[in-house]
Amino acid sequence: MVTMSAETITTISPTTNKPVLTRTGISPSEIEQLPIQATEAFEKFKKTTLKERQEIVKKALSLLNDKQDVLAKELTEQMGRPIAYTAKEVTTAVKRGEYLLKISEDALKDTDGEAETGYKRFIKKVPVGPVLVLFAWNVCYPSHSCSLSNLPQYPYLILVNSLIPALLAGNTVILKPSPQTPTIVEHISEIFLEAGLPANVIQYFHSGSPLIIEAIVKDPRVALVCFTGSVAGGLAVQKSAADRIVNVGLELGGKDPAYIRSDVDVAWAAEEIVDGAIFNSGQSCCSVERVYVDEKIHDEFVEKLQSVLKGYKLGDPSDKDVHIGPVVSKRSKEAIEAHIKDALAKGAKDVTPENATFAESRPDGNFVKPTLLINVDHSMLVMTEETFGPVIPVMKVKTDEQAIKLMNDSEFGLTASIWTKDTSEGAKLAESVDAGTVFVNRCDYPSPVGRLSSICGKKN
């Protein structure tokens, strides 16, 4: 949760709902200077060689890796993700950066054109100029009003996805973090300066004001805009940029489905689905948000889900034995609980197993117990709108065709998964699923080499 005044941004701990740090938001006059300074730095930085830029990035990634324990503690404090998992995000971000470093030579080399006597045709890849990176920690709900300053998800991993390619290509970068995790950009800037990056090649600013962010998106010196966050936030960025010719890259929300076929190893699939649905308290754009199960194994599968959930521990994220921490804000907690209430009012049944840590009272933090629902259908918010919380709604299906139809009955299309022993049939069914990435026998995960296919789904 974040509270803001005209000059001060206060980050509120999701665990205690008490302030943990404050930052001063940038002023309108200061925001005007960032693209000017980025443009001046770009004129020099674009003349560096790829090898020089690769050396800087390589050293910076090593420095980032060395600080993982400090960074992990901050992520837990600011985001509420359990300490058992936060260091892993940093190491995965480093591995992603190393992969991008490895492929940069091929990705940035000239592309030969059609050969013809007397002509040499080629496409030369050149830097575009200052790149604005607006990144979140997680995704707001489409049904709620979301400002351009969204919440976090995997902030280091999200940042690396845009920052490293931009720098390797010779661009300068302006970063705007979520107010929930403001220290991310401070560490990154410091690390890259130590690694030898020239001044003003990376700049950052803190802001919770949509007007400030709109102003820099509109600035003609900004050559590319990258945004990760909510659908509402992405639409706002796109609208702000609409008055000029500029490329805008958006990665937005999801309502990711999983289909469990009757031939699956039920116990194994249940373990994977629980992890995919409630890791990070379900606060991931690629969390499993709706589960379709063949009616022949439905009851058995639900029992296995219950068995798995009994082994999870909800609690203080600083405890190394805790699996699930709080959600990021009171608003998030209220929105998740509203989805559950709506489902129950429309006939769903809560079959969450008894678990002492789920029942424990924690009035100070934004804790939401994992919730397992059955008898759900598409009249319910929990099956149609992004819940963004630790909820597993399970719906019976009779056939593959019915499952695919329901999976595609969504305005979103980020990731999806099909679970079956017949991987050939799973791959065949995946062809009919309207999603940017479709997995067979796994949920989404922060792979060092990125996803296997496009993330451009229906609203991504």
Task: Return the SS3 of 21.
Answer: strand
**Among the listed ranges 48-57, 140-149, 412-421, which one has the minimum average pLDDT value?**
140-149
pTM of the full predicted structure?
Answer: 0.91
Overall residue count recorded for the chain in this entry: 460
Query: Virtual CA dihedral for 72, 74, 78, 81, nearest 10 degrees?
Result: 20
Are 339 and 379 spatial neighbours (Cβ–Cβ below 8 Å)? no
Letter for the amino acid at 301? F
Report the alpha-carbon distance of residue 81 to residue 327 in Å, rounded: 8
With a CB cutoff of 8 Å and minimum separation 6, the contacts of 402 are: none
CA dihedral defined by 455, 456, 458, 460, rounded to 10 degrees? 70
What is the tens place of the pLDDT at every residue in 336-377?
999 999 999 999 999 999 999 999 999 999 999 999 999 999
Query: Which of 285, 286, 385, 443 is the catalytic position?
Result: 285
State the chain's maximal CA–CA distance in angstroms.
79
Contact status, residue 237 vs residue 248, Cβ threshold 8 Å? yes
pLDDT of 150 strictly over 80:
no
**Residue 451: pLDDT band by 50, 70, 90 thresholds?**
very low
Instruction: Answer whether 161's CB lies under 8 Å from 254's CB.
Output: no
Does the pLDDT at position 153 exceed 90? no
Residues 93, 194, 80, 308, CA torsion sign: positive
Assign 145 a pLDDT band (cuts: 50, 70, 90): very low
pLDDT at 1 over 80: no
Rounded Cα distance between 418 and 416, Å, is 7
Task: Tell me the pLDDT tens digit for each residue of 221-250.
Answer: 999 999 988 888 889 999 999 999 999 999
Q: What is the pLDDT of residues 308-331, one digit of tens each?
A: 999 999 999 999 999 999 999 999
Average pLDDT rounded to a whole number, residues 290-319: 98
User: Residues with Cβ < 8 Å from 415, sequence gap 6 or more?
Assistant: 254, 256, 286, 435, 436, 437, 438, 439, 444, 451
Q: What is the DSSP string of 235-293?
A: HHHHHHTTTS--EEEEE----EEEEE-TTS-HHHHHHHHHHHHHGGGG-STTSEEEEEE
Tokens matching residue 222: 């900004």
pLDDT 10s digits, 26-57: 999 999 999 999 999 999 999 999 999 999 99
Structure tokens at 234: 């992405």
Mean pLDDT within 170-189: 96
CA 140 to chain centre: 11
Query: Is residue 215 predicted with pLDDT exceeding 70?
Result: yes
pLDDT exceeds 70 at position 147: no
The confidence band for 77, taking pLDDT boundaries of 50, 70 and 90, is very high
Got the DSSP string for 118-142?
TB--EE-----S-EEEEE-BS---T
First vs last Cα of the chain: how many Å apart? 25
Could you confirm whether 285 is annotated as catalytic?
A: yes
Determine the number of helices (DSSP H) and then strands (DSSP E) in the chain.
Answer: 14, 17
Across all residues in the chain, what is the average pLDDT?
91
Q: How far apart are CA 234 and CA 456, in angstroms?
A: 13
Region class of 63: left (phi > 0), else alpha (psi between -120 and 50), else beta: alpha
Is residue 202 helix, strand or coil?
strand
Catalytic (active site) residue 251: yes
Residue 379 neighbours by CB under 8 Å, 6+ apart = 346
pLDDT of residue 233: 86
User: Of 74, 251, 289, 386, which is the active-site residue?
Assistant: 251
Residue 445 pLDDT: 64
Residue type, 444: D
Task: Give the C-alpha separation, 367 to 315, whole Å.
Answer: 8
What percentage of the chain reaches a pLDDT higher than 90? 85
